[in-house]
Amino acid sequence: MIMAIETVALDDLNSQLVLIDQTQLPGKVEILYLSTQEEIREAIYLLKVRGAPAIGVAAAFGVYLAAKSIQTDEYDAFLREYQKCSKYLEAARPTAVNLAWALHRMEQVVLSNADYSVAEIKALLLKECTAIKDEDTDMCRRIGEHGLSVLKDGYGILTHCNAGQLATSKYGTALAPIHLGRERGMNFRVFTDETRPLLQGARLSAFELVEDGVDTTLICDNMASQVMKNGWVNAVFVGCDRVAANGDACNKIGTSGVAILAKHYGIPFYVLGPTSTIDLNTPTGDDIVIEQRPAEEVTEMWYEKRMAPEGVKVYNPAFDVTDHELITGIITEHGIAHPPYTESLKALFEKK
Alpha-carbon distance of 170 to 53, in angstroms, equals 10
One-letter amino acid identity for 327? I
The dihedrals phi and psi of 192, each to the nearest 5 degrees, come to: -115, 120
User: By C-alpha distance, which of 344, 343, 341 is closest to 325?
Assistant: 341
Question: Catalytic: which of 241, 248, 279, 320?
Answer: 241
- Give, in order, the Cα–Cα distances in Å from 319 to each of 21, 55, 183, 253: 21, 16, 32, 4
Instruction: Please report the DSSP string for 250-300 in residue order.
Output: EEETTHHHHHHHHHHHT--EEEE--GGGEETTS-SGGGSPPPBPPTHHHHT
Is 241 catalytic? The answer is: yes
DSSP 244: E
Number of Cα atoms under 13 Å in the Cβ half of residue 13: 0
Contact yes or no for 31/16 (Cβ under 8 A): no
Q: Which residues are identified as catalytic?
A: 241
